[in-house]
């Protein structure tokens, strides 16, 4: 099975231009799938049946895998079998007539605007690292960035005069993300007071350099910083860098932004992905109902 998986991943890299992170996730999914099939003595992908796929997904559910990870696995497996058929490696796609394998979607965790402010205030801005951390947090929230997008920002991609940053998102799709006045103030402070000192030891072109000679700060470092700030702000352990993105989308919609605009700002390929944010604020829905329904 592995040679077929490798060929499919090469196709996704060359023809579809998927990112390294996405390819790594697909590789993990399909290797797990291959091991499961091997345990059922199914080696030839042409002999896989829909019952094998359903059994694998069911086992993943029982193992406690998150709904989000299972959804990704379903996508990986469907794409893999479609590719096998298109390449002539298999005559049958076992996922073709299975219908939609629905997995419950968990609503994303969202902070209130007050909680966001509390979190943003946690870095010690009397230190260089604190100013850097504040600039990163402000940028995550102001632009609704993924952490992978934040750490890949080149210094030259920041345009403070124009008020935006050029972002490279999933599939290497580029977009211009507005920054807002407050985040720009912190970026400017960081660039003028902190970043020059970092460049004495690091020739990195990235806005937020890491410890390597030319590298960027790591995802793990940002993740740990956000966790530390959340703990100091008494916001619990569920807060992550992605919480800023969820909060950004929710607050934009609550403020009156239309769904299509939020889709563009987030860099979602499909508006269906953005629509989940229309369901995350029951308080706002109740208030809107009260204001506009004739018997509210």
Query: Higher pLDDT residue, 149 or 13?
Result: 149
Q: Tokens at residue 68, please? A: 């989000």
Q: Which of 189, 219, 268, 284 is catalytic?
A: 268
164 and 274 within one domain: yes
Query: Higher pLDDT residue, 136 or 199?
Result: 136
* Whole-model pTM over 0.75: no
Closest CA to 139 of 214, 217, 198: 217
Distance CA 36, CA 1 (A): 11
Report the pLDDT value the prediction gives residue 77, as an integer from 0 to 100. 94
Q: Tokens at residue 208, please? A: 């937020």
Report the pLDDT value the prediction gives residue 221, as an integer from 0 to 100. 94
How many domains does the chain fold into?
A: 2
Concerning whether 277 is annotated as a catalytic residue, the answer is yes
The answer to whether residue 279 is domain-embedded is yes
The answer to whether residue 222 is domain-embedded is yes
Concerning whether 200 is annotated as a catalytic residue, the answer is no
267 and 187 within one domain: yes
Q: Which of 72, 134, 245, 251 is catalytic?
A: 245
Q: Which residue has the tokens 């042409």?
A: 46
Q: Which of 146, 152, 195, 251 is catalytic?
A: 146
Q: Which residue has the tokens 């076992």?
A: 94
81 and 136 within one domain: no
Last-in-domain residue among 64, 86, 108: 86
Distance CA 48, CA 5 (A): 14
Q: Which residue has the tokens 């889709």?
A: 263
The answer to whether residue 94 is domain-embedded is no
Concerning whether 152 is annotated as a catalytic residue, the answer is no
The answer to whether residue 186 is domain-embedded is yes
166 and 62 within one domain: no
Concerning whether 38 is annotated as a catalytic residue, the answer is no
25-29, 55-59, 127-131, 178-182: least confidently modelled range: 55-59
Report the pLDDT value the prediction gives residue 96, as an integer from 0 to 100. 81
130 and 42 within one domain: no
- pLDDT band for position 279 (50/70/90)? low
Q: How far is CA 115 from the centre of its chain?
A: 21
For 65-78, the DSSP string reads: --HHHHHHHHHHHH
Concerning whether 170 is annotated as a catalytic residue, the answer is yes
Report the pLDDT value the prediction gives residue 293, as an integer from 0 to 100. 61
Concerning whether 295 is annotated as a catalytic residue, the answer is no
Alpha helices in the chain (DSSP H): 2-11, 20-39, 50-62, 67-86, 113-120, 128-143, 147-151, 181-193, 195-198, 219-232, 241-254, 259-266, 271-274, 282-292
200: domain CATH number? 1.10.443.10
The answer to whether residue 93 is domain-embedded is no
Q: What is the pLDDT of residues 161-181, one digit of tens each?
A: 999 999 998 878 899 999 999
152 and 45 within one domain: no
168 and 72 within one domain: no
Give the domain range for residue 26: 2-86
Q: Which of 170, 175, 227, 232 is catalytic?
A: 170
Last-in-domain residue among 86, 108, 131: 86
284 and 165 within one domain: yes
1-5, 12-16, 135-139: least confidently modelled range: 12-16
pLDDT at 101 over 60: no
pLDDT at 18 over 80: no
38: domain CATH number? 1.10.150.130
The answer to whether residue 110 is domain-embedded is no
249 and 140 within one domain: yes
Q: Tell whether the torsion through CA atoms of 263, 66, 62 and 7 is positive or negative.
A: positive
Helix (H) / strand (E) containing 42: none
184 and 131 within one domain: yes
Q: Which of 227, 232, 242, 284 is catalytic?
A: 242
């Amino acid at each position: 099975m592995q040679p077929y998986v490798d060929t499919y991943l090469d196709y996704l890299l060359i023809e579809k231009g998927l990112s390294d992170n996405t390819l790594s996730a697909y590789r993990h999914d399909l290797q797990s799938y291959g091991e499961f099939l091997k345990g059922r003595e199914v080696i030839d992908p042409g002999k896989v049946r829909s019952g094998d796929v359903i059994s694998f997904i069911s086992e993943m559910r029982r193992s406690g895998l998150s709904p989000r990870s299972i959804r990704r696995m379903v996508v990986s497996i469907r794409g893999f079998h479609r590719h096998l058929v298109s390449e002539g490696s298999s005559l049958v796609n076992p996922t073709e007539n299975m219908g939609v394998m629905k997995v419950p979607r968990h609503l994303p965790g969202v902070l209130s605007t007050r909680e966001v402010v509390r979190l943003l205030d946690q870095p010690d801005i009397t230190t260089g690292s604190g100013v850097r951390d504040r600039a990163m947090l402000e940028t995550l929230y102001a632009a609704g960035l993924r952490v992978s997008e934040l750490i890949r920002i080149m210094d030259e991609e920041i345009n403070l005069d124009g008020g935006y940053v050029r972002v490279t998102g999933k599939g290497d799709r580029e977009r211009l993300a507005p920054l807002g006045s407050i985040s720009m103030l912190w970026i400017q402070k960081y660039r003028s007071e902190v970043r020059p000192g970092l460049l004495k030891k690091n020739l990195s072109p990235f806005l937020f350099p890491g410890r390597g000679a030319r590298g960027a700060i790591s995802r793990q470092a940002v993740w740990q910083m956000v966790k530390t700030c959340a703990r100091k702000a008494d916001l619990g352990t569920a807060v992550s860098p992605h919480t800023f993105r969820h909060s950004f989308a929710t607050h934009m919609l609550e403020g009156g932004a239309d769904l299509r605009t939020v889709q563009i700002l987030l860099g979602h390929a499909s508006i269906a992905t953005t629509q989940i944010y229309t369901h995350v604020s029951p308080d706002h829905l109740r208030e809107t109902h009260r204001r506009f329904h004739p018997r509210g």
